[in-house]
């Protein structure tokens, strides 16, 4: 038996409100992170937040409408999604 694989957190249920993303794990724990940790979900409509797929055997969640993925391990260790870097200035034309 692979102890590491059997002890990995597995998501069985998810809710995303205007303030939090909450996941219930197979082992009975409930974890929650601020919605602001996901800039994509923060900008999504409630309908988009409510359409998700639990991926793998519960390793994570995918929101297809906003192309967001969050893993159970990421939620547990606090990996917030970083927004893309913005370019301050347009590139100069090539002569």
pTM over 0.85: no
What topology does CATH give the domain 3-77? NE0471 N-terminal domain-like (3.30.2020)
Q: Give mean pLDDT, residues 73-92.
A: 76
pLDDT digits (tens, 9 = 90+) for 28-77: 999 999 999 999 999 999 999 999 999 999 999 999 999 999 999 999 99
Q: What is the 3-state secondary structure (H, E, C) of 43-72?
A: CCCHHHHHCCEEECCCCEEEECCCCEEEEH
Taking residue 38's Cβ as centre, other Cβ atoms within 10 Å add up to 22
* Contact indicator for 82, 42 with CB cutoff of 8 Å: no
- Cα–Cα dist 91/40, whole Å: 26
């Amino acid at each position: 038996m692979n102890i590491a694989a059997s002890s990995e957190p597995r998501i069985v249920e998810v809710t995303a409100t205007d303030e939090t993303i909450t996941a219930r794990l197979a082992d009975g724990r409930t974890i929650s992170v601020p919605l602001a940790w996901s800039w994509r979900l923060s900008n999504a409509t409630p309908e988009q937040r409510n359409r998700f797929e639990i991926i793998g055997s519960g390793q994570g969640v995918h929101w297809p409408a906003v192309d967001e993925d969050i893993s159970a391990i990421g939620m547990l260790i606090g990996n917030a999604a970083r927004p893309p870097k913005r370019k301050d200035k347009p590139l100069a034309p090539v002569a």
